[in-house]
């Protein structure tokens, strides 16, 4: 451990996990970086003081107390997919609380509310909800992502237009606070804590349990993929303009989810329709896109639908694989549609710029719908008005991300912001260290001031800290 009083920290943490040394790792542990720290983004090396694996909320609370008593920062980790390794602190010498042992699950069949352990991965959330009454909730497509980070930052996925984001399903949490108390937070109890956890959770505590509303699984689902035959920049730009026109139609069904994906290999428009094929066909989506090769399949098996999402072209590039990468995002409202000239400029740029790597992708992802129904300040989540997002991602297979790769993504975002005429918000789930101190205002927007006040009340010493977390109000 890097801490000056490392033996005291070690003893305290051992005691916190009930003397079970298997629930604790530090720099003296064999294979510490590879087996325990496991940075998701290899481009950002981080050396935590210790990684802990508590088995219950009491142990989480005891670990937090050890950290506070030794002036160390704490960050929870669930799936470990933070783009800037914030789940392992984002900087050296934090205590990591890995929640993989918190797997409890139960379903109340009278209310259809599920209780889900804070360490559950999305793939397991899907299976457990299915087994307990064929229920479902909105969440993203990567099965290795953990609900702990996902449902406390946003949690966007194909069914979000119908059901809201993952955090919109959360009705109550059990959470360990900086003073090492274990509290319930709901509309009635500790409502400020619940509000902050639903959008900026890692700054406020460690959620050991979620209570979520669930939905009946859709009976029949259409999965479609259109490979757009667009050779040059102008043809790709035309394809995007048609897609943007389609998604900006205010009457577009909320059962319709769609992504426009651009990679080195070309353009794919892909997505899901949550309903029978007759309804999907009536939308006439095919006629609203340029010439393409079509692939439409109909499934009546919900687990099959969710596993199909995990085979998505972009996810296969990233999935759960550690790599050296850089990513940027932007949140577009209905007033931020890219003008034709900006679309032309962007696709010409993508055609000609030296990207520094063949492994890159750009995804525009339709949101809106139910997510937009909530007031901007209903939860801490900062982008209630987002109609769609883009996520740009580039991997260096041969070492650290270099300036050429960074400049490629920075230049891409600049064309977009110049095109809409102002800076766009960023999604806190696609954390971008290059935003620096400006990050929190781009992640949480007008909700940041209230977040800072709540932070001052429940974590005045900034125990739950990463380089871009919410700071206590001055």
Report pLDDT digits (tens) over 401-459: 999 999 999 999 999 999 999 999 999 999 999 999 999 999 999 999 999 999 999 99
Quick one: fold of 105-217+443-458? 3.30.465
Give start and end residues of each alpha helix (H) in 180-338.
191-200, 233-247, 277-283, 302-309, 313-318
Residue 233: is it exposed, middle or buried by C-beta count within 10 angstroms (0-12/13-18/19+)? middle
Residue pair 155/145 in contact by the 8 Å Cβ criterion:
no
CATH fold for domain 6-98: 3.30.43
Tell me, what's the pLDDT at 204? 98
Q: Spell out the domain ranges in the chain.
A: 6-98, 105-217+443-458, 221-434
pLDDT given at position 1 = 46
Do 147 and 78 form a contact (C-beta atoms < 8 A)? yes
pLDDT of residue 4: 45
Give the Å distances, CA to CA, from 436 to 87, 165, 432: 17, 26, 8
Contact, 26 vs 49, CB < 8 A? yes
Question: Using an 8 Å Cβ cutoff, are 84 and 431 in contact?
Answer: yes
Q: Given this model, what pLDDT does residue 313 score?
A: 53
Reported pTM = 0.96
Q: Could you give the CA distance from residue 439 to residue 431 in angstroms, rounded to a whole number?
A: 8
Say if 6-98 and 221-434 have the same CATH topology: no
Each residue of 217-246: pLDDT tens digit?
Answer: 999 999 999 988 778 899 999 999 999 999
Distance between CA atoms of residues 469 and 102, nearest Å: 24
- Give the pLDDT score at 2: 45
User: Is the CATH number of domain 221-434 3.40.462.20?
Assistant: yes
Q: How far is CA 18 from the centre of its chain?
A: 32
Residues in the chain with pLDDT < 70?
A: 1-5, 312-320
Token look-up 């064929």 returns 134
């Amino acid at each position: 451990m890097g801490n000056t009083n490392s033996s005291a920290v070690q003893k305290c943490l051992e005691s916190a996990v009930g003397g079970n040394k298997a629930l604790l790792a530090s720099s003296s542990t064999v294979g510490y970086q590879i087996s325990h720290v496991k940075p998701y983004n290899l481009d950002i090396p981080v050396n935590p003081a210790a990684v802990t694996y508590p088995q219950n909320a009491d142990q989480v609370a005891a670990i937090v107390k050890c950290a506070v008593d030794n002036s160390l920062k704490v960050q929870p980790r669930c799936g470990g997919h933070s783009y800037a390794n914030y789940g392992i602190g984002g900087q050296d010498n934090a205590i990591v609380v890995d929640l993989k042992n918190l797997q409890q699950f139960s379903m109340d069949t009278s209310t259809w509310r599920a209780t889900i352990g804070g360490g559950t991965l999305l793939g397991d959330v899907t299976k457990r909800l299915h087994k307990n009454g064929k229920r479902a909730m909105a969440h993203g497509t990567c099965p290795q992502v953990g609900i702990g980070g996902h449902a406390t930052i946003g949690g966007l996925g194909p069914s979000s237009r119908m059901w809201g984001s993952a955090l919109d399903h959360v009705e109550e949490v059990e959470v360990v606070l900086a003073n090492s108390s274990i509290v319930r937070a709901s509309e009635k109890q500790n409502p400020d804590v619940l509000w902050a956890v639903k959008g900026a959770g890692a700054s406020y505590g460690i959620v050991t349990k979620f209570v979520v509303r669930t939905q009946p699984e859709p009976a029949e689902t259409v999965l479609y993929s259109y490979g757009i035959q667009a050779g040059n920049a102008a043809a790709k730009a035309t394809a995007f303009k048609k897609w943007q026109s389609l998604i900006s139609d205010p009457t577009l069904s909320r059962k319709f989810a769609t992504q426009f994906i651009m990679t080195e290999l070309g353009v794919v428009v892909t997505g899901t329709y949550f309903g029978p094929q007759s309804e999907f066909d009536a939308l006439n989506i095919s006629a609203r896109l340029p010439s393409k090769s079509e692939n439409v399949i109909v499934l009546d098996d919900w687990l099959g639908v969710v596993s199909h999402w995990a085979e998505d072209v972009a996810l296969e590039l990233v999935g759960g694989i550690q790599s050296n990468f850089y990513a940027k995002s932007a949140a577009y409202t209905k007033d931020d549609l890219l003008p034709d000239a900006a679309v032309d400029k962007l696709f010409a740029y993508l055609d000609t710029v030296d990207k520094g790597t063949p492994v890159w992708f750009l995804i525009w992802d339709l949101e809106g719908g139910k997510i937009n129904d909530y007031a901007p300040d209903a939860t801490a989540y900062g982008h209630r008005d987002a109609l769609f997002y883009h996520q740009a991602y580039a991997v260096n297979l041969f070492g650290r991300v270099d300036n050429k790769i960074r400049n490629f993504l920075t230049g891409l975002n600049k064309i977009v912001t110049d095109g809409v005429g102002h800076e766009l918000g960023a999604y806190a789930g696609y954390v971008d260290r290059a935003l620096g101190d400006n990050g929190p205002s781009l992640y949480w927007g007008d909700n940041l001031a209230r977040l800072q006040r709540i932070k001052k009340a429940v974590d005045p010493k900034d125990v739950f800290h990463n380089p871009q977390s919410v700071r206590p109000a001055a």
